[in-house]
Structure 1
Amino acid sequence: MRNSGPPRTAVALAALLAGDALLHLAWATGLTWPAPDARALSIAVLGGVVPFTPRVLLPLAALLLATAAAVLARGLGLGGRRLRPVLGAVTLAVAAGLLVRGLVGAAWACGAGDEPSRAFHWLNLLLYTPLCLIAGAGAARLAGVWGTGARGAGASGAGSPGAGVRGAPRRRLWVRRTALALPLALAGTALYGAYAYDPGEQHGYRSPYLTAAAGSRYLDTPLARFHYVRQGTGSPVVLLSPGASWTFAWHHQVDALSRTHTVYVVDLPGQGFTRLHESRFTWDLDGMTGALGTFLDALGLPRTALGGNSWSGGWALAYAQRHPERVGRLVLLAPSGLDERDPMTWEALKLPAVGELLVNAGSGRSAAEASLRRVLVHDELITDDLVDAVWAPGTLDANRRAVYRLERGLDWRETEAALPRTRQPVLVVWGRQDTVLPVAQARRFGALLPDATVRELDGCGHALTLDCADRVSAVMEEFLRDR
């Protein structure tokens, strides 16, 4: 009696792949069922934020339909001598992909990493992971890795119908099993690098950038123990540590502005030496603006000028939009805040496991120096002290984790939509050689903000407070001068 196992397995796998393709085609029309919007759909389906656009979805749908056809043909023993090895290779690739996804899903189900949403957690636990493991095992069997393969699969199309893997030469069997084991081994290694490898923290760092006048201070609140510096007297100016950096990055501007202002620079959660007390903190605009409000309340500052660079420029903007009565002026240096894609190296951090792996792999001192060379135009500024200042605090476990958590959680649609309603005077400064956020974004801010002063600085990169310290200090002093 002819074995009906392979055809049935092939039909089931082909139906699964074709059904997935139809879902992608539906999403390509703009439908986001079962989620309310494309971002929520991406998080629920993939566990990370990727663009659900026709440009992405249509090629994926075509690939899924092609693989469905190949798997079905493999199971039914179709194709000539030349085509059958190709169908076998495609089926083996499907098996590897499904089993890798199942392995990663099993790691997440066991508690590795940060689940971006409860919806994804339960879908991964109850649907994605079991389905991928079962379907992957079926595809591996169909590819002839074990059990009875497709008709004629045993000799890659050269054997008799139903010969199966038992008639295959040992060398071909070894090749198939190696081809399947290799991606699984690589996935296991990547999971170790993402969730088990500990790059190590650098404790005991003492910064030469903290002067006697602006040394480290700490402010304890129920939310966090905030690290900040304070210098000068006069009307208050609060500067938020840039992006994944800490208070030292503003040390030039603190010295300049403190002649006429009381200047505060604060590390928000995930930066520098601030430590969270609240375990349920959310790494999004609600969390970061809420933390800033907690800090201002604890200092007793009802109203202040506010500034930030990169991510922290976006946080300052969001806070000013949500609490306009508390912010008199805004200084935004190459800020986030527009609903645009980040560079690919940052977009990759949004993907579960990938983000953790990239952050852990990039925790070395050499990586910190390479990062400085990407964001600074003036290489002569890169000294050992500067590299250590960027690298050492960034190795702290809480700060490493915050990088990919924030990249996944920050949603700038809100800030861009509110730009025409942002009434504070705003200074927007951008380096024309910015390699992180293109200078064209400065003009968009200028066009959308009702009261904006836009300055583009030639010969300056993204880390403006360091790269063009004197010029940035001068334009800030002029803008913040009491009127």
Structure 2
Amino acid sequence: MSGTKITKETIVVSNVEIYCEHVLNGKPPIFLIHGFLSSTYTFNKVIPLLAENFSVVAIDLPGFGRSEKADSFHYSFTSFAQLVVGCMEYFGIEKATLVGHSMGGQVALNVARMTPERVNKLVLLCSSGYMKRANKLLVYSTYFPFFNLFAYRYVNRKGVRETLKNVLYDHSLITDEMISEFKRPLSEKPFYKSLIRLVRHREGDLSSAELSSINTPALLIWGEEDRVVPVNVGRKLVKDLPNAKLITYKEAGHLITEERPQEVYSQILSFV
């Protein structure tokens, strides 16, 4: 596994520069989608494991990580989902298993709802769920000149180390490399403009009625100590999705790919 060669490159999809990491080996394809304020680094421990049995593609969504913070992109779940399909087409992938962490779970669900023929199975890792659209007052506030400063202070209010403590149950896993990876985009001014557009454009999460129309087989994996998206969200999602099962792990938080990489890999392998 340590010898797995991961290609890292920037591609252009939908007129946006997208950073991606991939291992294309002719095996069944699996597509990885990170969450809010994150990047492909979310999957750094599981990509080498998955590459033993899958062709793997992971991307930084527009506005995040090393991808372009494009002014022209519409930062909605619909647009993110369309971009995922566009990336699949770029790599010649007709149908893939989608793995979404946190907000990436909502993106994956939107892909399955919009283009079910492109999705083999869904794996939702501590997926966001049932969040409403930003209220109108907040959306209107984003047009004031000071809002960039507000966004900066909101994101940086705790510091990266404290934020990582919130997403991990085991704080001993926090490394300088992890801090550096999560901190790097926070120094880019265009990053905050992208966040503001996300506040303006993001629809609410899929409703129970919308979820009930998604028949794609789904595996939900959760840390029982998740303080960002509590496991109760997973318990509700597994009831609303017609073809889903939920697996939880004790002494694990929101960043389940860091705390339980081997278990996540094993569950995906047996599920897919």
Q: Give the TM-score normalised by structure 1.
A: 0.51
Shift of 1:425: 0.6
Match of 1:235 among 19, 22, 28: 28
Seen in structure 2, the aligned counterparts of structure 1 residues 415 and 394 have a Cα distance that, compared at 3 Å, is farther
Which residue of 2 is the match for residue 251 of structure 1? Answer: 44
The superposition leaves residues 67-100 of structure 1 with CA deviations (integer Å, 9 ceiling, x where unpaired) of xxxxxxxxxxxxxxxxxxxxxxxxxxxxxxxxxx
- What pairs with 1:38-437 in structure 2 (closer than 5 Å)? 213-231=5-23, 233=25, 234-275=27-68, 279-339=71-131, 352=142, 356-361=148-153, 367-437=159-229
C-alpha contact 2:30 2:56 (8 A) present in aligned 1 = yes
- Hey, what's the Cα distance between the residues in 2 that align with 1:348 and 1:466? 33
> Looking at CA atoms only, which structure, 1 or 2, has the larger radius of gyration?
1
Contact 2:34 2:102 in 1 (8 A): no
Distance 1:358 1:466, change over 3 A: farther
Instruction: Spell out, residue by residue over 1:2-42, the C-alpha distance to the aligned partner (whole angstroms, 9 max, x if none).
Output: xxxxxxxxxxxxxxxxxxxxxxxxxxxxxxxxxxxxxxxxx
CA separation of 1:362 and 1:349: change in aligned 2, threshold 3 A: farther
State the 1:476 CA deviation: 1.9
What SS does the aligned partner of 1:213 have?
coil
Structure 2 Cα separation of the partners of residues 341 and 211 of structure 1: 44
Q: CA deviation at 1:339?
A: 4.1
Letter of the 1:394 counterpart:
L
Change in CA separation of 1:473 and 1:280 when aligned onto 2, cut-off 3 Å? same
TM-superposed deviation, 1:340: 5.2
Alignment root-mean-square deviation, CA: 2.7
| Structure 2: runs of 5+ lacking an equivalent | none
> Which amino acid is the alignment partner of residue 304 of structure 1?
A
Q: 1:350, 1:407 within 8 Å by CA — same for their partners in 2?
A: no
Deviation by residue 1:36-65 (Cα, 9 ceiling, x = unmatched): xxxxxxxxxxxxxxxxxxxxxxxxxxxxxx
Once the two structures are TM-superposed, the CA of residue 361 in structure 1 deviates from its matched residue by 2.1
- In structure 2, C-alpha distance between the alignment counterparts of 1:365 and 1:383, rounded to whole Å: 20
Contact 1:363 1:395 in 2 (8 A): no
Q: 1:441 matched to which residue of 2? A: 233
Whether 1:472 aligns to 2:245 is no
Percent identity of the aligned residues?
A: 24
Amino acid at match of 1:425: P
* Cα shift readout 1:413-444 (whole Å, capped 9, x = no counterpart): 54543111111110111111111112111111
**Closer/same/farther in 2, CA of residues 212 and 479 from structure 1, 3 Å limit:** closer
Aligned match of 1:178: none
Q: 2 CA distance for matches of 1:378 and 1:406?
A: 30
What secondary structure, in the 3-state scheme, does the structure 2 residue paired with 1:421 have? coil
Q: CA offsets, 1:376-416, max 9 Å, x none?
A: 11100111111001101332233333234324432235454
SS in 1 for 2:262: helix
* Distance change (3 Å), C-alpha of 1:276 and 1:426: same
Instruction: Return the structure number with greater strand share.
Output: 2
Distance 1:256 1:439 in 2: 25
CA distance in 1, matches of 2:7, 2:81: 25
Who is 1:136 aligned against?
Answer: none
Greater relative contact order (CA < 8 Å, ≥ 6 in sequence): 2
Distance 2:211 2:121 in 1: 14
Q: What CA distance in whole angstroms lies between the structure 2 residues aligned with 1:212 and 1:366?
A: 36
The letter for the 1-side match of 2:88 is: L
Shift of 1:286: 2.2
Distance 2:218 2:140 in 1: 30
1:267, distance to aligned residue in structure 2 (A) = 0.9
Structure (1 or 2) with the greater helix fraction: 1
Q: Secondary structure at the match of 1:216?
A: strand
| Contact 1:350/1:404 (<8 A) preserved | no
Q: What secondary structure does 1:275 align onto? A: coil
Partners of 1:363 and 1:338 in 2: how far apart? Answer: 22
1:459 Cα deviation from its structure 2 partner: 0.9
Matches of 2:263 and 2:147, distance apart in 1: 35
Where structure 1 has 5 or more consecutive residues not aligned to the other structure, the ranges are 1-209
